[in-house]
Each structure stands twice: as C-alpha cells, then as structure tokens.
Chains A and B, each alone.
Chain A
Amino acid sequence: MKLLFYVYRFIGTTLFWIFFGLIGLVYGFVILPLVYLVVRNQESRQVIARNLIRGAFVVFVWVARNMRLIRCDVSGMEHWDAGASQLLLANHLTLIDVVILLSLFPQIDCVVKAAVTRNPVLRVSAGTANYISNRAPDELLDFCVERLKSGSSLLLFPQGTRAIRGEPLKFKLGAAEIALRAHATIVPIVIDCNPQMLAKNVPWYRIPPSQPRFRIKLLPPVPVAELVSGDVEPRRARHRVNESLVSMFEAELA
C-alpha cells in the first residue's frame, strides 16, 4: 500500500511539474509579455502581474494538496496585515517555499535571484511584476529599504539559499540590516517541511519516502526597535537583530 502510494506520488509529481512548466511557459511567453505591452501604467501593470502570478501559485498549491503530493498547514495568518508595510522573513527549505508564500500574501515584493533575471523570458516576467532583482549587493540593500519605506511588504529569505532541515540556522546580515535601515516591522515565518522535499541539489524526481508535510507558522509582528535597546553602534545592532531572529526560529523549529 505504501509502495503503491509512492508510485502514485512519483507519477503525480511528474504530472505536476509538467503542469507547472506549461503554465510557466504560457505566463512567460504570452500572458506577462502581453500585460507588459498592453498596460502602460507601471503601477497597474505591477498590480495586475502580481495578481496573475499569485493566482497561478494559488492553483499550484491547491493542485499539489489535492493530488496529495504535499500536506500544508498554515497558522498565524492573523499576523499578516495587508494594509501595513511588513518585512516577512522566512527560513528556506524547499524550492516551493516561495510558491506557497506568494500564494498567501497578495501584492508583496520579493527578491529574484540574478540567475533568473539573466534569462530573457523570466526577466520580462519578473520585470512586469516589478520584483527586486538581486544585482549589486549595495543596490539590493537600498532597493529593499526603499520599497519598505514606500509602504509595500517585502518577503526575504535571510539564509539566502535553501538549507538542510535540522542543521543550525545561519542568516545573512542583510535582512537584519534592511530591517534596521527601514525601521521595519518584522513578521517571522517559520517553515518546516517533513520529510524535506525539493532541497538544494536534489533533483525533483527524487521524491521523499513519504508525503511531505509543510508547517508554515507566522509569528507575531516585532518592530525591529524592540530587538535592539538604546543607542547601539550599527554593526552591533545588526548582529544583535540577527541573533534574536535566529533564536526565534530555532525555538520554533526545535
């Protein structure tokens, strides 16, 4: 029975990725370029593109859940405030973390890695949605701070890349620095996926032995000022914010 479910999940996963790829192609070659060409106003173009991308991601998550390829429990959604500017910081385990998170939060900003923006099709898609591209590190910091200050919410993965489940968390300082410079309110998002699927350097077809269960938990918002008391030198401040964040996540994942 277990073997049968494994075989089913393998076939299901293959079909899922074909579906994912096809929608991706239609979006990348037709829908988003069309939005880019037809909608001349940059602001409405961004809103439309982000809604379309979120729509596709909602469908992907729905399909993956209903095909029983994954289970996914989300808690703490009351901590998300669509009207406020929040800095959403999530740990990063799987290739589809971003798909699940972007399906949950409409209109948020995120950072797209440079490899994506080098691909012409993806560049048009990411550009139409006006996501932040990770080019020069200094520009990235400035861009993120600017977006937060202008009132949007931003999703970052402070680890910068997918990590192995159970290993000690290591956050890059950039997220803490952005939070400090923007005086941001941080919403930590703790992601667990057991057993871990779609980890770094693991091909999609090597599916986990049993059905992966995602647990996504939003913690209460924390203004960054609460993590550093008084007048602290910038370098100390970002290290302190970083350490507080890491311990918050580790307490949840322990």
Chain B
Amino acid sequence: MDTDNLYGQLKAILIDQFELDESSISPDADLYDELELDSIDAVDLLVQLKNITGKKISPDEFQDVRTINDVIGALTNST
C-alpha cells in the first residue's frame, strides 16, 4: 500500500474514532503532544492500521514513534 493511501486511512481513523479535528492532523503532528493521544490510544491506532497493512510493529519501533509520519514510516519499512 502506498503512503498517501495509508495517510488517508490513518486520517479517517483519527477523525472517526479518536474524534480529532481534521484541521489538527498533518504529517508532522505529534501524536502525544499535539493530538493528545496517550500510549494506549496509539496502540489501538496501530492495531487498526495493522489490520489494514498486515505489518506488525515491534516495541522498539513503537518507542520511536512520535508523529503521524513516524507511524507511516514504521508501517511501510520492511525490516
């Protein structure tokens, strides 16, 4: 799946399920500081994305995720 498509799906989840404002979402938005998700929200988010992409995220990768771009990076890199 390409990154634009993934970004679109991610955005849809954030708006529908986390009730975020569309205007607050950008690739550089910080999940924790700007979007005010907590770590459990982030896990829930990853579960939903995993269902779409089929990629698992390791705890180490997860530690490094801060922004929406990081999420997409973690989901698209193949290592």
Contact = CB atoms under 8 A, between A and B. Distances in A.
Interface string B44-57: 10110010000011
Contacts of A173: 38-40
Contacts of A140: 59
B41 interface: yes
Interface residues of A, number: 15
Contacts of A174: 39-40
A238 B37 CA distance: 13
Given A138-B46, A138-B50, A141-B43, A114 B60 contact: yes
Interface residues of B, number: 15
A135 B59 contact: yes
Nearest to B37: A235
Contacts of A138: 43-44, 46-47, 50
A162 to B, nearest CB: 16
Contacts of B46: 137-138
B38 A114 contact: no
A114 B58 contact: yes
A114 B59 CA distance: 8
Interface string A97-135: 000000000000000001000000000000000000011
9 contacts: A135-B59, A136-B56, A138-B43, A141-B40, A173-B38, A174-B39, A235-B38, A235-B40, A238-B38
